Structures are given as structure tokens and as C-alpha cells.
């Protein structure tokens, strides 16, 4: 239990001679005489005293009068009774001089006395409010303790119910059930990486929610606003370039998604530099281990020919050149990430004019999104959404994958023809099948492979063994990051998580889906099945959602055999499965595949292909309270965090057109 926000501390209050302070100030020292001073004041008034007038009437003086500076009370005839006997005597409705002075002094005395009384009352009121607030927080703390104890008893009861009741079988793994309700030292009994308590609550909620309707917007986008955007990147407003300065070669690095971005950037660069593009090739990657072609080469050339010149090979006279020796090889190290067009005009164009060829090695994310002219930006969209089509063997297997996901033959989704081409029509057995609804399925991209986990510098509950394994992986695959980690003070894993910079774990992903309202029977297609930690890490997902499938489960060994040694082709199958789904949930918005999938769904989806984009920073705050938060509150907060990302927004300046195609360069507004 967190400490109280504040505690009540004893304090000494010192307010102008107040008895609580135990001291007297200068004003209280001057106020020790009685009403007899009135006579002295009156005498001085009549005898022309030099005492300033403002000293007699100042409202800031103490309520008691100071001793007379001109004599004692013994010098005057009469006493207090004499002075007071004329205090109310009037002459024609006015006080006499003597009575008037005394009346003014008495008025000051009463005013001072009232001020002191008010100050004391105010102090007492403040003390009372402080004590009341302290009592409130103390009672609140006691109540929270009792609620926590009650919650522990409920968890223990639920765990017993799970063990004894077959209705709950499969909801929670046996390793989770064995620790439900057990007391451990300290309040933080559930490690952040395990979420055992919340997983148990989710299992209970899913079991109870089978008869309840799903939230209305679970499988929907804001249709009216999103459907007003229509694809129009295929519209051309220019002619092919006339002159040819030289040739641009690109050997793209990374996986299928990075290669796709590199190809589109190469097309724009060829147009910018008035050059001919050699069909891009793919660089061998130590991570992806794949140099295969995944896009239809002829379709790419034919579709882009009205925009740029494309050839399959360099001319014979340039093939024999040692490009590195003549300075025509440019690597990613030579170009800043998202470099401006002026960089290429200033630094690359002279090389191209001189040597007639430039070879880019890598070229991932090496062209900025802004500022770029309207037509060049549209060319980029045209390449991504229209020119790149998967090779036939990927399309055929992708169509088979979609058919088994939907559990119905003869049904084609709205994006199928763009993803699998003519194979979408081959699955249509009869026309009447078109009007028959297929089973809905949700796709989830779990970007939790070891490369992502290692690069994030986060921790995921694996302790010392996990730390050593990820450090060893970084040393081999990310040496620059490993060196930076040793030489520079980087943010702690806790800080990274609180800022939303860590990928969601499978446990966090399944809790998000359960909180959003997806029922236990929902079919879930998981992309990126090479999860760090293996099948053990998927236990939380499979226990709460038993209808979870991957391409490895849906396709036979024989059907997958042609792709087994080609990581990019396997990623293409995941791309098809995610893009065509009825709803798509990403766990890391920075993932290239998630960005391309969500953009493709926006471009071709007609406002009916919802994408769940988690606000990881807000979710991290919610998950940090996993030991105490109630499930209903958890549901409300998660739904609010996700709903805020469903707004239909145009592309922010500087952001990817592949992810945010709602802009005038890619799509046309018809609303």
C-alpha cells in the first residue's frame, strides 16, 4: 500500500502575541493599560499634544492602548468611573470633546479585540480542517487494506473454482492457478511481467461475458468520417521523364517491410534525379537470412513505366566498373535517416553525372516524407499501394490461409483482390457464397521477437538469465547499441516502460484484448509467431483465447515447405493474414509491419477495417497498478486509452504516408 499523501505534523503558530506561540511581539508589549488611558488621551488633546493623529486612529495597532508617554494615571483627578460617567453624554446630538476621544479609543479597542478573536477562530478552523483531512485519509487507507484482503480471498476462491469447475478449464494455465490467492511477503506479490492477478480476473470476466453483447464499436471504425476518403494515388498528372542522367541501383536491407519502403523511396529518387532505376535487389540480412524476391517484377516495371524508366540490369559498359573504387557506392552510413531531397541534389547528383551510376547499399528510411512535392509524394503512394504485388506462390498460399481463417469457402474480403490477386476469385465457388458472411477473425501482430526485445533495452520479467541473453544478442546483432549502452548513461528500463517505449508483452496484449471486450471464442490470428520465450510466452494468450492460430497451425508442413528458408516470404503471409482481417491489433506502433498493414487497411478498407493502436504510455500507467486495480476500472481505462487512437485524422506533417495515407497525395476527400 502506498504511503499516505501527507501526514499531520505538529506545528507552532505565531500570530501577533497569540498565546499559541508562547511569545509576545512589540504591539502586545505596548497594550497593557486599561480604560483609564482615555483620560490621558483626552488631556493631551486639550493641551495641544504633539502626538501624531494617525497614531491614535491607525487600524493596525494592537487592541490594547500603549502606556502614556506624558505621565501616569495618578496625575489626573478622577478615575475610571469618572471617565466612563461622561462616555455617553451628548451636546446637541454630538459627543463632547472628552467623550468623543474616549469613544474613538473604545472603538479601536473593540476592533482590535475582534481581530484577535477572529484570528484565533481561523487558526482553530484550519487545525480542524487538517485533522478532518487526516482522519479521512486514515479511514480511506484502512478501507483499502480491507478491500485488498477481501480481494485476496476472492482470488483464492476463484482459483479453487478454476481447479474444480470444468467450465473454467483452459482459462488460466496451471502455473498461474497454483499461485492464485497465496500470500507472499510484501504487497507487490505479483511481478510486473507476469500479471497473474489480472489474468485471473480476465479469465473470470471472459467466462461470465459469453452471454453479454460485445461493445458496439469493437469491430468498427468511425465509418462516416473514414469512408469519405477514397484511394486515388493511381491518378497521374505528368509525363515520363525525357532525359536520362544515369542509373540508380538499390540493394535493400532488412526484412520484407523495410525492403518495401526502400523500393518506394528508390522510385521517388529516380524521378527526382532524372535517372533510370535498376530493379531493386535485396541484401542478405543476418536477422532475416533471405535474399528472395517477393514482389512481381514485371508488374512493378509495367505499372511504374509511365513515371520512371526501369531496367532489369545495368548496361554492359557499366557492369564492368568497380563502383566502390570510383566512389559510386553509397551506404546508409553516408546518408542521414530521412534525408531531405536537397541532400541528394547536392551530394548524389554530381556523382551520378560523373560516373553515370550510383549504388545504394541499404537505403532503409533514407528519404524524408516532408518537404516533398505533391507529385513525388503521390508517386511514393502509387508504388506502395498499386505497383507492389506479391509473387504468385505467395498469393496462392495467402488465399488458402484466408479461406481457413474464415472457415468458409467461396468468400472474399474487400482487400483480398489487392493482396492475393486472381486467387481471391478462384475461391469463389458460387455467386450466392458472396452474400454469405464468413466467420470474423481478429489479427494481432505480436512484435515480440528477440531482435525487438533486445533493441528496446527493456526488461520483461526474466531476471538475470534474460538480461545476459539479450546483452549477448545485442553484442552480435546491434554492436553500436551495445557499445552505447556501456559508454553512455541511458534511461532505465523502468523509465522506458513508463514513457511507453517498450513493446507490449503477450500477457499485456491479451489483457488489452480482454478489456476491450473480445469474447473468449474469438478467433485470433497471431503474426510474428517466433515469440521471444517460445510457446511458454504464449500461454497467457492461448489460455484465455483457445481459438488462437498462426500460419504454422493453419497450413500443413507440405504447404509451408516452399517458404521455410525464406523469412521475407513468411512475413508476406503474415502481412496478408493481418491486412485482410476484420479487425487488426498492433502491440507496437513503431513496428514497420504494423504501420504498413494499418495503412493498407485505411487505403483500401473503405472505412470498415478497424485497427487497434494502443497508447503504450497510458497502458503502462494502467498496468503499473496491476496489484490493486479492479477489473471493471481496468476495462474502462483500457477502452478509453484505445478509443482515443481511433479518431480519423489526416497525415501529420513529417509522418509516413505508408501508415497515414489520408492525405491529398494518396487519397481524395469526397465528404
Model pLDDT for residues 270-321, shown as the tens digit of each residue? 999 999 999 999 876 555 556 667 999 999 999 999 999 999 999 999 999 9
Residue at 225 is within a domain: no
200: its cell numbers? 485471473
472 lies in the same domain as 441: no
Residue at 514 is within a domain: yes
Domain count, the chain: 3
**Alpha-carbon span 340 to 241, nearest angstrom:** 21
335 lies in the same domain as 410: no
Q: Can you tell me whether residue 94 is helix, strand or coil?
A: strand
> Which of 15-29, 528-542, 615-629 shows the highest mean pLDDT?
615-629
Closest CA to 604 of 424, 370, 431: 424
Q: What is the pLDDT of residue 331?
A: 94
Q: 441-445 and 583-586 as β-strands: parallel, antiparallel, unpaired?
A: parallel
% the chain with pLDDT above 90: 53
416 lies in the same domain as 550: yes
Q: Degrees (nearest 5) of the Cα angle 315, 316, 321?
A: 100
Residue at 441 is within a domain: yes
End-to-end CA distance of the chain: 53
29: its cell numbers? 508589549
Identify the weakest region by mean pLDDT among 52-66, 352-366, 493-507: 52-66
Residue at 562 is within a domain: yes
Range of the domain at 459: 450-491
pTM of this prediction? Answer: 0.71
Contacts of 395 (CB under 8 A, 6+ apart): 389, 419, 420, 421, 422, 423
Confidence band of 224 (pLDDT split at 50, 70, 90): confident
Residue at 322 is within a domain: yes
Mean pLDDT of 48-67: 42
473 lies in the same domain as 518: no
Average pLDDT over the chain, rounded to an integer = 78
625 lies in the same domain as 582: yes
Asked if pLDDT for residue 450 goes beyond 70, the answer is yes
Residue at 637 is within a domain: yes
The more confident residue out of 394 and 180 is: 394
Cβ distance 522 to 641 under 8 Å? Answer: no
302 lies in the same domain as 362: yes
569 lies in the same domain as 623: yes
519 lies in the same domain as 486: no
E strand or H helix that includes residue 263:
helix 256-272
Residue at 30 is within a domain: no
254 lies in the same domain as 321: yes
381 lies in the same domain as 407: no
401 lies in the same domain as 549: yes
Asked if pLDDT for residue 22 goes beyond 50, the answer is no
**Alpha-carbon span 265 to 498, nearest angstrom:** 34
Burial of 169 by CB count in 10 Å (0-12 exposed, 13-18 middle, 19+ buried)?
Answer: exposed
Residue at 180 is within a domain: no
Burial of 239 by CB count in 10 Å (0-12 exposed, 13-18 middle, 19+ buried)?
Answer: exposed
458 lies in the same domain as 327: no
Closest CA to 559 of 357, 399, 670: 399
Amino acid at each position: 500500500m502506498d504511503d499516505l499523501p501527507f501526514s499531520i505534523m505538529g506545528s507552532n503558530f505565531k500570530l501577533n502575541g497569540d498565546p499559541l506561540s508562547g511569545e509576545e511581539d512589540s504591539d502586545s508589549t505596548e497594550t497593557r493599560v486599561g480604560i483609564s488611558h482615555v483620560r490621558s488621551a483626552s488631556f493631551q488633546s486639550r493641551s495641544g499634544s504633539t502626538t501624531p493623529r494617525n497614531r491614535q486612529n491607525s487600524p493596525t495597532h494592537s487592541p490594547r492602548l500603549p502606556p502614556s508617554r506624558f505621565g501616569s494615571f495618578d496625575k489626573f483627578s478622577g478615575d475610571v468611573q469618572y471617565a466612563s460617567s461622561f462616555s455617553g453624554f451628548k451636546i446637541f446630538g454630538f459627543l463632547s470633546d472628552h467623550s468623543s476621544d474616549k469613544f474613538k479609543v473604545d472603538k479601536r479597542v473593540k476592533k482590535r479585540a475582534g481581530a484577535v478573536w477572529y484570528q484565533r477562530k481561523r487558526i482553530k478552523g484550519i487545525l480542524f480542517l487538517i485533522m478532518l483531512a487526516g482522519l479521512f485519509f486514515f479511514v480511506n487507507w484502512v478501507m483499502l487494506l480491507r478491500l485488498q484482503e477481501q480481494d485476496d480471498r476472492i482470488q483464492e476462491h476463484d482459483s479453487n473454482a478454476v481447479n474444480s469447475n470444468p467450465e473454467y478449464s483452459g482459462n488460466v494455465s496451471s502455473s498461474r492457478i497454483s499461485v492464485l490467492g497465496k500470500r507472499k511477503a510484501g504487497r507487490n506479490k505479483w511481478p510486473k511481467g507476469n500479471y497473474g492477478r489480472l489474468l485471473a480476473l480476465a479469465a473470470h470476466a471472459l467466462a461470465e461475458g459469453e452471454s453479454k453483447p460485445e461493445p458496439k464499436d469493437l469491430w468498427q471504425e468511425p465509418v462516416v468520417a473514414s469512408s469519405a476518403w477514397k484511394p486515388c494515388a493511381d491518378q497521374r498528372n505528368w509525363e515520363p521523364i525525357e532525359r536520362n542522367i544515369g542509373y540508380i541501383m538499390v540493394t535493400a536491407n532488412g526484412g520484407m517491410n523495410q525492403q518495401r519502403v526502400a523500393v518506394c523511396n528508390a522510385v521517388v529518387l529516380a524521378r527526382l534525379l532524372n535517372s533510370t532505376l535498376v530493379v531493386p535487389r535485396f541484401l542478405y540480412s543476418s536477422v532475416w537470412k533471405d535474399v528472395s524476391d517477393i514482389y512481381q517484377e514485371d508488374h512493378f516495371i509495367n505499372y511504374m513505366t509511365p513515371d520512371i524508366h526501369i531496367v532489369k540490369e545495368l548496361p554492359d559498359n557499366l557492369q564492368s566498373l568497380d563502383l566502390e573504387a570510383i566512389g559510386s557506392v553509397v551506404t546508409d552510413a553516408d546518408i542521414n535517416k530521412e534525408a531531405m531531397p536537397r541532400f541528394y541534389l547536392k551530394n548524389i547528383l554530381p556523382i551520378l553525372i560523373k560516373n553515370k551510376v550510383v549504388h545504394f547499399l541499404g537505403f532503409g528510411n533514407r528519404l524524408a516524407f516532408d518537404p516533398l512535392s505533391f507529385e513525388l509524394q503521390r508517386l511514393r503512394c502509387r508504388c506502395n499501394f498499386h505497383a507492389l504485388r506479391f509473387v504468385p506462390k505467395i498469393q496462392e498460399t495467402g488465399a488458402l490461409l484466408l479461406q481457413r481463417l474464415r472457415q468458409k469457402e467461396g468468400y472474399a474480403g474487400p482487400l483480398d483482390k489487392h493482396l492475393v490477386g486472381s486467387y481471391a476469385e478462384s475461391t469463389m465457388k458460387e455467386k450466392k457464397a458472396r452474400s454469405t458472411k464468413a466467420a470474423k477473425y481478429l489479427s494481432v501482430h505480436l512484435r515480440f521477437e528477440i531482435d525487438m526485445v533486445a533493441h528496446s533495452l527493456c526488461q520483461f520479467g526474466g531476471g538475470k538469465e534474460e538480461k545476459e541473453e539479450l546483452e549477448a544478442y545485442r553484442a552480435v546483432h546491434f554492436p553500436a547499441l551495445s557499445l552505447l549502452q556501456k559508454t553512455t548513461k541511458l534511461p532505465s528500463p523502468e523509465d522506458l516502460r513508463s514513457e511507453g517505449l517498450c513493446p507490449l508483452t503477450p500477457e499485456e496484449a491479451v489483457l488489452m484484448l480482454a478489456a476491450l471486450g473480445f469474447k473468449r471464442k474469438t478467433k485470433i490470428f497471431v503474426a510474428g509467431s517466433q515469440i521471444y520465450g517460445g510457446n511458454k510466452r504464449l500461454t497467457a494468450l492461448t489460455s484465455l483465447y483457445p481459438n488462437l492460430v498462426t500460419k504454422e497451425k493453419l497450413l500443413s508442413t507440405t504447404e509451408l515447405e516452399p517458404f521455410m528458408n525464406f523469412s521475407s516470404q513468411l512475413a508476406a503471409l503474415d502481412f496478408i493474414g493481418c491486412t485482410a482481417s476484420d479487425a487488426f491489433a498492433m502491440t507496437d506502433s513503431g513496428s514497420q509491419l504494423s504501420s504498413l498493414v494499418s495503412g493498407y487497411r485505411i487505403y483500401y478498407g473503405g472505412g470498415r477495417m478497424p485497427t487497434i493502436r494502443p497508447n503504450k504510455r497510458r497502458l503502462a500507467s494502467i498496468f503499473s497498478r496491476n496489484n490493486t486495480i479492479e477489473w471493471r476500472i481496468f476495462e474502462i481505462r483500457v477502452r478509453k486509452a484505445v478509443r482515443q487512437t481511433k479518431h480519423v485524422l489526416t497525415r501529420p506533417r513529417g509522418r509516413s504516408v505508408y501508415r497515414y495515407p489520408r492525405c491529398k497525395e494518396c487519397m481524395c476527400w469526397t465528404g
